[in-house]
Amino acid sequence: MLYTTVDRADNKQFRELYVSPAAAVEAAKTGAPMPDGTVMTLVQYAAVLDAEGKPQVGPNGRFMKGNLVAYTVMEKRSGWGAEYPDNVRNGEWEYQAFKADKTPNTGANLTACFNCHKPLGAATDYLFSYDRLKAASR
């Protein structure tokens, strides 16, 4: 289910965030970690740019969605992540990046995903959008 969208000015992207299963939203609403089998999908689109290279904003005040750029996926499974040292491990999450054609992006720096999410800690189950999940409706 789509639970939020994000405008990223730093890389001129419009992003959609999806979660499956819906039980993940219920877990967030109670302050619990994501259940085993949760899949978080970030769909990245280039923002439509004006003649000056600035993202165009639609009537809703948000970036206008352009061409699909890539997908990034986080998946949580019981026992995953045990092979990572504590300074890298993000609970039981694994990451994968995909190109717009849905093939794996073998050049993606997945270590950067771990490093970026690590400081968030277990309180938010390593998710930047945990509070947005809490606010989502099923």
Domain ranges of the chain: 2-135
CA angle 113, 20, 111 (to 5 degrees): 10
The domain made up of 2-135 is a member of CATH 3.50.70.20: yes
Rounded to two decimals, the pTM is 0.93
The predicted-structure confidence for 52-105, as pLDDT tens digits, reads as follows: 999 999 999 999 999 999 999 999 999 999 999 999 999 999 999 999 999 999
